[in-house]
Structure 1
């Protein structure tokens, strides 16, 4: 029987082992899904000005005119969105997944983006110091074995007066998927260890057979019926 895992950290062994798991998972299931389109602002300085004003900086100096920006954990497209919003910036997009970076690179080439560099690397091994004016890290650090250690690496990479945009998932919105994941571990492989392939096969069958008009059916349908679902 799988042990109780209230914090959903069953697979955490070390920083390196979780990095390997993440790299393998997102190579197989690159995320986010590919968008139907990318938007381009007509005013190339709009995003920089708006963020500075959000920070109470009406002189627009917190993020300079030609900033260095790091999208830490960029996935398939966040670095592209950032490069389009900040055409005068130099953007670095980092991710563990080579598949995600390949998708990002192909889209960037098709869009003619020239202010973006991509790097396959773990945020836990990144060795940047006082380099970036603005770092974007959204929905990433909580997927690491030690989020505090990951955050410290990111903080070191900021210039002393740099800006960090950070987002982590809140526990409330993940009650349903985490409960479903833990139920699969109990009902699926019936092993003392996690067998991903067995659990994945069981999960797909269970989702296909879900009764209609249930909480879980409504949750899954949001993704199955998305315009950009794959």
Structure 2
């Protein structure tokens, strides 16, 4: 299978990227966003006294590699990034993107994530959209775990079964129709089939999968891939367990809470009796829109301390892709936050002090300092009352993966 995979990505590097675009935007996502990695994998702490060692396994055209290397440079965090991929064509695109940004902390290697002997150890291993294309995903995840440094974390993305409704019947249909054709001919025939799909076709009716509309590389990766499987939540936990790993967080956390999707108190009361996996699986089945699963993993002995918590005045709140003061200006006391999650428009109730708190979150100011600033406005606001307000805000924004935490102390 490895030769077939390489041939596909030599012909159609994925995702399709133009290095010239680096001058106007940084592609960000999950896993691998630096603030997210620190929060969900390292308890909010990093040791800035030495380079943070990163492996991007199956780096493709470079999205995760460029993102984390650029974010580390912007943050002044020393980092050594190793990019690894089977495809020379994909590697060339990723390297050109790094050169366009002047990123010099990246080592580019061609190879397989199944052959990591001599590499590492790494503090963080990123593997986005790769494991589900392996003949043996469990072996792939075990290989990644073998390269992990003590106390390290892994971020992965795999396909979700329910949100990809319609993909696999069409894969089967195209496998039968395109057998023996070269890649360009397979693409051409697939386009003809897609153009004439009846309104009853499940892929045509699925708003959560659009790769086939965006580029030839996206179409090939979605519908003509030679090895492709998907996961439900229970299967994802089984995959992690088989590799000797524990899932510390599912991203975004709110996706995996039944209360995000239903409000009936009788339903939610029954859901309270489910364990963590059961609740996440229930949310997945109710929503039906998870076309992928993003999660962070550690060794089991590190899992309890992997995710940061707002548990003291020295914790520093960090907004991801949000401007706190700008958001605060648009909020009235008692206002709700409108957000989109998996194609669903949702409203989340916010606490009374959401605006004043958000106005003071800048990625540098600790919770203690935010509280002190609010006490200047209301001397009666004690720490416990402040934290009640902050915890409500944190639950909403962290659930949407928009508010994470750093700690001032360094991890040794």
The two structures have a TM-score, normalised by structure 2, of 0.43
Contact 1:27–1:97 (CA<8 Å) still a contact in 2?
yes
Q: How many angstroms apart in 2 are the aligned matches of 1:211 and 1:175?
A: 16
Question: Does residue 61 of the first structure (1) align with residue 46 of the second (2)?
Answer: yes
Cα distance, 1:68 vs. partner?
A: 0.7
RMSD, aligned α-carbons:
3.2
1:38-60 deviation digits (Å, cap 9, x = unpaired)? 3399xxxxx655533334724x1
1:18-53 deviation digits (Å, cap 9, x = unpaired)? 111110001111111216443399xxxxx6555333
Q: How many angstroms apart in 1 are the aligned matches of 2:69 and 2:135?
A: 29
Match of 2:80 in 1: 90
The counterpart of 2:129, out of the listed 139, 157, 175, is: 139
Match of 1:28 in 2: 11
Any stretches of 5+ residues in structure 1 without a counterpart? 1-17, 42-46
- Secondary structure of the 1:159 match is strand
Q: How many angstroms apart in 2 are the aligned matches of 1:102 and 1:40?
A: 17
The two structures have a TM-score, normalised by structure 1, of 0.74
Question: Does residue 121 of the first structure (1) align with residue 104 of the second (2)?
Answer: no
1:52-111 deviation digits (Å, cap 9, x = unpaired)? 3334724x1378762010001111022111211222211001011110000111111111
Any stretches of 5+ residues in structure 2 without a counterpart? 219-412
Structure-to-structure mapping, 1:65-214, within 5 angstroms: 66-78=51-63, 79-87=65-73, 88-128=78-118, 131-186=121-176, 188=177, 194-197=179-182, 199-210=186-197
Q: How many angstroms apart in 1 are the aligned matches of 2:162 and 2:35?
A: 33
Contact 1:73–1:123 (CA<8 Å) still a contact in 2?
yes
- Over 3 Å counting, the alpha-carbon distance change for 1:183 and 1:139 in structure 2 is same
Contact 1:130–1:156 (CA<8 Å) still a contact in 2?
no
Q: How many angstroms apart in 2 are the aligned matches of 1:50 and 1:81?
A: 12
